[in-house]
Structure formats: C-alpha cells, structure tokens
Chain A
Amino acid sequence: MLPQRLIQLSLHTLKTVQNNTIQLNQQTIQQAYTETHTIQLNPKPITLKPNRTQTTIAAVDTSNMKIGETSTGIIAAVRGAAIWKQNKHYHYTRLGPFIFHITEENKRQLYQTLATAYLNTNDTVHAYPLNLTQMPNRIANLLEKWLQTTLTKTLTNSLILFDGSLTAGTPDTPMPLMKEILNTARKRNNTVLAFSKMTNLRANGYLITDALPPHKPPYMLETSGFKPKPPTVLLGDVYVAKLTNGNYAFRLDIDKEIPHEQKIEAAQKLLGNDHIQQSYPETLRLAHILCTFTANEVIAMQHFTTRRYNLKIINRPDMHRLLFGPYGKGDMNA
C-alpha cells in the first residue's frame, strides 16, 4: 500500500516548475514551539523490569527538507519511514522522497487534497493559516499520520512508537484521527508509546526530564495536572522515562485508555525487546535515521529537479552575508 495521493500531487506540482529558476537551499525548517506548561511530578519512581515476552516493536518517523526556492515558491522534499523489530531483526519500509513545488497559489489546494485523503477531514485547512515555509512540515505530518494509521491497522500485539506526544487537536493532528489511530491500535492489542525528544513541561520550575530522583534506572515517573490549551487535548498519560544510566530522560506518552498495568507492561516489554541506548529505543532512533535527509541526498534531489525539470540554478545574494560579511552567518545562526 502506498500513499498514492502524495505521489500524484508530488508529480503534479513539479510539472508546474519546469524551465524555472531555482535558488538552492540546504537549511532545515525548524518548528518554533515555545509554550511551556507547569505540571506535577510524582517523585516515587515506577521501577521497570525488562519483559522478554516476544513482542514486535514498531516505530514511525518522517522528515522534510526545503531543497530550493523558485520565483513563485519553494521546492521541498518529504520522506517517511516505518521500522519494526521482529525476531531480533530490524526491517523497514521507507517512503519517498516525495518532492513538491509549493507556491502561494497551490498550497491550499495541495494541503486540502492531502488532508482529505489522509486526515479524513479538510476542516483544518480553513481553521488554521497555511504558512508557505511551514508547508513541508505540514505535509510531512500528513505522511506521518498515514504511516501511523497503516501500522496500527497492520500490526497486532505490538508496541508502536511515535515520535512526539499524544496530543491532538493541532492542525495536522485532528482529534478524531488521533482517536481513531489509538482505537484501532487498542482493538488489535497494540500499545502506542510516544517519545518526545524535547519537552516544555516543567515541574517546580524545572523541565520534567531534568529534575529526576536519584533512583537506579530503568524507571518511569508519573505526572499529573497537564491541561493543554483547547482545542488541543491530551490522549495519553504523560510519564518521564529514564530507561538507562546516564543523563538522558524523555517525556513518554502512553495511550490514556489502556489500564495502568498494561502501560507498565508495555514499557517493560519495550525494555525486554528493543535495544535501549541513552534512554531512547533503537527502533525509533532508526526510524528517525532512515527518514532524515543527508546532505548527499539533498544534493541528489537538487540534481534530480534541475535535470528532470530543467531548472536553472541561480545564486541570489545572501543578505546576511552581503550586509554583515563574515558576521552574517545566515538564518540558522541568526
């Protein structure tokens, strides 16, 4: 099964860019998310013991990259990876890269078509503004949701790892869809665990992943009192997971609807079936590694677009460089 709509739209948008000029760009688009929340952290750790009952561990991640600018918009690439560990071996399915030419003119139509296909709704298109620079991220999120849905529908008795949290009600994660994903997972006896690499949740003024009791890992800490601002809702219970020695701990969201014991069991099965390094599961790390674009791939995609669509590379002056000379280091370090 392939995300056909993504393929069709990728090819369709690229057709509009033929014989245009392109300004190459290798900078990643970073999401700005700064809102912080204060919650309570239960200092009594839940000690975890690895449960080696054979369980499939699966994970999903996507990435996106702006690979250039045209006179009317941007050219961006999106890729997703699903990875699962079965019988001690890792397997993967990687989708993409899908390359899009996104313009002010086609962005709404593009997103609407994809949202209808993968979010089962196009309400979000009208509810939230569509920023051109955020479009690659938005499309990647759609692909991620599609991959998550596919995994929950395909696997049984497995642990499914998401990158991020189990919050819903955001532009790319409508609540009905997220609920549907978690419901499907539950029906097939799968448990969804979401690992956040970054968190803004604080307890007593400290980030929840920093203020940890001196207890021997692996363990989890329960949290309470997290009430996201509507329309965002939380579909999982938030924990802090410190799965190995060292200074690493992560926010871990586990499906709210499953019993407490099953949540603990899921974490213990993860410990018993996956390789955990720096408190982070290898399956999820691999999903991230496999979908991330390397510089070599970015050059290859630029090569592809310029050759296939006869784009002429132009070098627009870098205003930072132009104005500030060696002190102007571009957006990344501004």
Chain B
Amino acid sequence: MKLYKKEGNILQILSFPNETAEKGDYLLVEDADAGKALIAQVIDMQFASIPGVLEELLRSLPDGGELIQGEDFDPLEIAPHITYIQDASLLICKIRATVEGENLTPSSSWLPSRSQSTIKKLPIPTLLKLAKVDGKLPIILGSTKDASPLTIDASSLDGRLNIITGKKETGKSHLSKLLMLNLIGYGATVVVFDLNGEYHSLGMTSDGKRNSYYDKIHVLTPAQNFKVALKQLNLQVLLGILIHALHLPGTSAREFRRIWQSLKERDMLTLHELGEAIRNWHCNQHVRDALFSRYHALVNSGFFTDETGGTMLLEEYLFKAKEQGGAIIINLRNTSTIDRQIVVEYVLGKLVELLTSWKLKAVFLFAEEAHLYLRETYWDDIVTRMRHFGIFTTFITNQPDTIREHIYRQADNIFLFNFTNEHDLEVVSRAARVDAETVKSIARDLPPHYCLTLGKVVKDFPMVAKVKALDVKTMGETRLFFKNAD
C-alpha cells in the first residue's frame, strides 16, 4: 500500500490486488523517521484512477458487445502486471488518531512521508489495546472481520445515552438483549419497555430450559400481573398520567388535585369513590366532563385497582434487581396506545420517585420504538433530567427519524446496523460522536447482524463486528401467514 493523498483528515491510500483491505478496517501509516504513525479507518474503496483503463475495457468489446475472440502471445508475461495495475484500488480512509510511542492523540495535524511511510493493517486487538478499550466488566459484542472478539466495558454504558438503530431484521433487538443480559449479569437494574413481547423469555434457553438469568427476568404485564392500587399511587405520578398521557387541561387538573386530597384525607381512595367524587364535585360542567372521560380511561385500562395485595410487584422487583441484578420487562404487547402511555408514564414516574429518594441507585432503561409511547417532552426529560436521576436510556428503533436530532447529538454510543435508505443514514449521521461519511459509507454495506459501534464504548474508534449469538429463547419472530405452507 502507498500513501497517495491527504486532504483534511482524509487519507487516500493506493492498494494493490494482493493487499486485502475492506471497509471498516484500520490501517497504520507509520513514518519511522518522524517516530509517529497515523491510525486511519477505511471508509470507502474505489478503483484507482489508472490512465488508459477505459480504453482497455472498450477495446475488448468492439463487436456489438460480443467479446472478440483471440490469442495473446505474451512472451514476457506482462499481462499479470496489467491486471495488477488495472485492479489497483484507492482506499478512502478517515484519520482517527496519531500514535506516538504508547500515546494516542486524536490528531491529524502532521503529514507522514509519502515515499517512506509503511502502511499495514492494524489488527483490532492491537487497536483495542492501544485505545485502552478494556475494563473490569467486559461485554463481548461479537467478532470483528479478522475473527477477533470486540469487547466493550459495561461501565462505558453507565450514565450514558445509547441508540441502537438499523433497518428491520438486521439484529437490533438481538444486540439490545445481549447488552441487557450482560448488564444484569454484572448486577445492574434494567427496565425494558417491551413493545412486542419479545423479552419475556430471556430466562430460557433456545430449547426451553431455564438459564442463569431465569430468576433475574421479571415480566410485568399491565392489567394482568401489573396493577396499581390508587391508595399506593403518588398524586404527582397520577397527575403526570392525566396531563401527559390523557391530556387533561390545567384547570381540570387543579380540580382533580382537590378531589384527590379530599378523598385521601377521608381515606377513601378507591376507584368507585373517585368516580362518585367527580360526579358530585361542585365544579364547571366542562371540567366535570373532562375529569369523567379521564376517569373512565383509567378504569378501562384495567391497570388501576382498589386491591392493595399484589400491586407492589414493580417496586418489589426493582428492589430485588437492586440486590442481585435483574430486568423488569414491561410487556406492552396487546396494550392500546393510551394504556401504553399510561403504563409508561406510571413506570417513569415511579422510577423518578424511587431514584430521587435514593431507594434505587440507577436504572438502565431499554426503550423499543419509544415514539409509540413516549410523549414529546419526555425525550428531553430522559436525556437530560432523568439522566441525572440515574435513568440511563438505550433507544432501539428502526425509524431513526422518530428520534430527534438533538438526541443523536447527545448520544454517547450508537450501535448502527444496516441502512440503505439515504434519508435514514442522513438522520443517523447527525450524531456528534462520528463523522457523516463514516456512517453513510460503512452502514450502507453492513451485512445483517453486523453492527457498526460508535462512541465512548469503543473510545471513538468506529468498529464493525458481527453480533454474537445468544442462547436464549427469542420471541421476536414475525407471525407469518404462509409459514407452514411448505
């Protein structure tokens, strides 16, 4: 390989057919005299602009597109040299860092010698060692193209905002399960908003046996084993539901607060009494109607109850997870949009309550397709305010444009699977932790189950890895009409 050009932080490297390099590979451009080396990542490959190639190709097709038949007597065997030159490629590489001795700096301000520099592939394990991508809590994400494991540290997810995105069936949920299981393996508390009911069997192996996570996976299904007694409900949490999930206007909310306090003072916080209180409350008819419609929404959700026994499961599981690590799966499958928002509002409110009072240390929240249940204002809340309370979110989506641009900018880690759509790539490329060219060029060519990892987990050295398989019962399969047609 030969250094051809440097423009800004882009290197163009001439590569010959016997030198194999692919998109995502790292190269070390070493200038022995300068005692420094550049670490560059291949983000694109092109044919080298060899003069005369077009003529070469054209002359082989002169007869109306039919190949001309003939014999070449090439006594000096020049032909292999011609193909060698013809097949030369130009590697477009992004400079990621400069190595000087043992030190790594994110600089590209010097120019290595074009004639004297040596260029070789930088094995991923060496790069990981150089970049000090290690730690005491390793999570093996998968294997890189050179078959070496890509290991990140669980602590690099701690306190971070993560995004897992990619088009359908590329392996997003699989990766989120892998991260989640590893986190609970290290004793973390994880809450999952499980939109499609695909996380509830993670305690089982693929052949249906219990695995080591069995006792750490707690599934809560709203209106079934997950109900809330009004008496145990914090007014602020319920107002949050009414205002944000059920869009109760401010005037009506003030009346509701009065009704609630009145019932609480009389120790009469039941669904029936609440309904009666609204009916008999002295207030404007419109306010009454507004309160009534929300009251019926609460009742119809089946999520609220008067029974106090068995309604403390969320807290119970959270405390259990705090002790030994565990995941609370909020199964939102078969839940209507309104009910979903009520449940999510409740869970988030509850988490904030427990975290504020330091009853919980921190929670890793995994939110699949959050735009389907998260109110607009919560996005900002989650990435800013709730982060300080100790809610560290991982968004998982196949519609990257449903996540706002400023969230990409604040994301600490992005796990990017294949995208072919220009618009999707454009959205993701707004992430602050990586350049747009890398995202667009590498993500477009990622095979299924290959993930481009960006951000702090890889110390800002974007890496491609095939996500490792999990021996857990997956429930994310799509129901098919023609499945048994064969």
A319 contacts the other chain (CB 8 A): no
Are A296 and B72 in contact (CB-based, < 8 A)? no
In the complex, whether A15 has a CB less than 8 A from a CB of chain B is no
Q: By the criterion CB–CB under 8 Å, are A289 and B62 in contact?
A: yes
Q: Which of A91, A99, A289, A298 contacts B70 (CB 8 A)?
A: A91
Q: A295-B51, A296-B56, A304-B78 are in contact. Are A94 and B71 (CB under 8 A)?
A: yes
Q: Contacts A10-B76, A89-B63, A295-B52: A300 and B82 contacting too (C-beta < 8 A)?
A: yes
Which of A2, A282, A299 has the most chain B CB within a 10 Å cutoff?
A299
Q: Which residues of A contact B (CB under 8 A)?
A: 2, 7, 10-11, 83, 89-99, 282, 286, 289-290, 294-301, 303-304, 307
- Judge whether B81 is part of the interface by a CB distance below 8 angstroms: yes
Describe A's contact surface by its main secondary structure: helix
Q: Is the CB of B73 within 8 A of A297?
A: no
**Count of residues in B whose CB is under 8 Å from the partner chain:** 25
When the two chains form their complex, are residues A296 and B85 in contact, meaning their CB atoms are under 8 A apart?
Answer: yes
Q: Give Cα A92 to B81, complex, Å.
A: 21
What chain A residues lie within 8 Å of B78 (beta carbons)? 97, 99, 297, 300-301, 304
For the complex, is B75 an interface residue (Cβ under 8 Å from A)? yes
Interface residue B86 (Cβ < 8 Å from any Cβ of A): yes
**A14, closest chain B residue (CB):** B76
Q: How far is the CA of A99 from the CA of B81 in the complex (A)?
A: 14
CA distance A301 to B56 in the complex (A): 15
The 8 Å CB contact of B75, one of A98, A290, A299, is: A98
CA A293 – CA B234 in complex, angstroms? Answer: 86
Chain A residues within 8 Å of B68, by CB: 90-92, 286
* B70/A92 in contact, CB under 8 A: yes
Q: A90-B68, A295-B52, A296-B50 are in contact. List 8 more A-B contacts (CB 8 A).
A: A91-B69, A92-B71, A94-B73, A98-B76, A296-B55, A300-B81, A300-B82, A303-B84
Is A97 a contact of B76 with CB atoms below 8 Å? Answer: yes
A93: B residues at CB distance < 8 A: 70-71, 73
Q: Please state if B85 and A300 are interface contacts (CB–CB under 8 Å).
A: yes
Chain B contact residues, CB within 8 Å of chain A: 50-53, 55-56, 59, 62-63, 66, 68-76, 78, 81-82, 84-86
Q: State which of A89, A96, A286 has its C-beta within 8 Å of the C-beta of B74.
A: A96
A304 to B84, CA, bound (A): 10
Q: Judge whether A301 and B81 touch: CB under 8 Å.
A: yes
Shortest distance from the beta carbon of A189 to any chain B beta carbon, whole Å: 25
**Interchain CB contact under 8 A, B56 and A304:** no
Report the bound CA distance from A2 to B71 in whole Å.
12
User: CB-CB < 8 A to A83: which residues of B?
Assistant: 70
- Separation in Å of the A271 CB from the closest CB of chain B? 18
Chain B residue numbers with a CB within 8 Å of A89 are 63, 66, 69
A294: chain B residues at CB < 8 Å are 51-53, 55-56, 59
* Residue of B51, B69, B71, B76 with highest tally of chain A CB at under 10 A: B76
Docked CA distance A96–B56 (Å): 16
Across-interface contacts of B81 in A (CB, < 8 A): 300-301, 303-304, 307
Name which of A89, A96, A297 has the most chain B CB atoms within 10 A of its CB: A297
A93's closest neighbor in chain B, by CB?
B71
Number of A-B contacts (CB under 8 A): 91
B62, A282: Cβ atoms closer than 8 Å: yes
Please, how many angstroms separate the alpha-carbon atoms of A89 and B63 in the complex? Answer: 8
Q: Which residue of B lies closest to A304 (CB)?
A: B81
Contacts of B55 in A (CB 8 A): 294-296
Chain B positions within 8 Å of A289 at CB level: 59, 62
Q: How distant is the Cα of A20 from the Cα of B63 in the complex, in angstroms?
A: 43
Q: Are B50 and A2 closer than 8 Å at their CB atoms? A: no
Give A286 to B63 CA distance when docked, in angstroms: 10
Q: Which residues of B contact A304 (CB under 8 A)?
A: 76, 78, 81
Q: Which residues of B contact A303 (CB under 8 A)?
A: 81, 84-85
Nearest 10 CB-CB pairs, A to B? A294-B52, A295-B52, A92-B70, A295-B51, A296-B52, A300-B81, A300-B82, A294-B55, A7-B75, A304-B81
Of A90, A96, A97, A300, the residue contacting B62 (CB under 8 A) is A90
Question: CB distance B71 to A298 under 8 Å?
Answer: no
* Contacting residues, chain A, for B50 (C-beta < 8 A): 295-296, 299
* B73 touching A296, Cβ below 8 Å: no
> Given the complex, which residues of A lie within 8 Å of B82, measured CB to CB?
296-297, 300
Query: What chain B residues lie within 8 Å of A11 (beta carbons)?
Result: 75-76
Cβ distance B302 to chain A, nearest Cβ, rounded Å: 74
Interfacial chain B residues near A90, Cβ < 8 Å = 62-63, 68-70
Task: Give the docked Cα–Cα distance between A90 and B67 (Å).
Answer: 9
Q: For residue A300, which residues in chain B have a CB less than 8 angstroms away from its CB?
A: 78, 81-82, 84-86
Compute how far the CA of A49 lies from the CA of B73 in the bound complex, rounded to whole angstroms.
Answer: 38
Q: Please determine whether B85 and A2 come into contact, CB atoms closer than 8 angstroms.
A: no
Closest to B51 in A: A295
Which B residues are in CB contact (< 8 Å) with A7? 75
Q: How far is the CA of A300 from the CA of B56 in the complex (A)?
A: 12
Given the complex, which residues of A lie within 8 Å of B66, measured CB to CB?
89
A16 to B53, CA, bound (A): 31
Give the residues in chain B near A97, CB-CB below 8 Å: 74, 76, 78
A296 touches B51 (CB 8 A): yes
Q: How far is it, in angstroms, between the C-alpha of A97 and the C-alpha of B220 when the chains are bound?
A: 78
B76 A298 Cβ-Cβ under 8 A: no
A294–B72 CA distance with the chains assembled, in angstroms: 16
Question: 27 A-B contacts, Cβ less than 8 Å apart?
Answer: A83-B70, A89-B63, A90-B69, A91-B68, A92-B68, A93-B73, A94-B73, A96-B75, A97-B76, A98-B76, A286-B62, A289-B62, A290-B59, A294-B53, A294-B55, A295-B52, A296-B50, A296-B56, A297-B82, A298-B52, A299-B51, A299-B52, A300-B82, A300-B84, A301-B78, A303-B81, A303-B84
Residues of A within 8 A of B75 (CB): 2, 7, 10-11, 96, 98
Could you tell me the distance between the alpha carbons of A11 and B71 in the complex, rounded to whole angstroms?
21
| Residue with the greatest number of chain A CB neighbours at <10 A, chosen from B66, B85, B86 | B85
Which of B53, B63, B73, B76 is within 8 Å of A99, CB to CB?
B76
CB distance from A27 to the nearest CB of B (A): 13
> Shortest CB–CB separation between residue A133 and chain B, in angstroms?
22
A10 to B66 alpha-carbon distance, docked (Å) = 34
Residues of A within 8 A of B71 (CB): 92-94
Residue of A nearest to B70 (CB): A92
Please name the residue on chain B nearest to A92 by beta carbon.
Answer: B70
Tell me which residues across on chain B come within 8 A of A94, comparing CB atoms: 70-73
Residue of B nearest to A7 (CB): B75
CA distance A43 to B63 in the complex (A): 36
Asked whether A96 and B86 contact (CB < 8 A) given A297-B52, A304-B78, the answer is: no
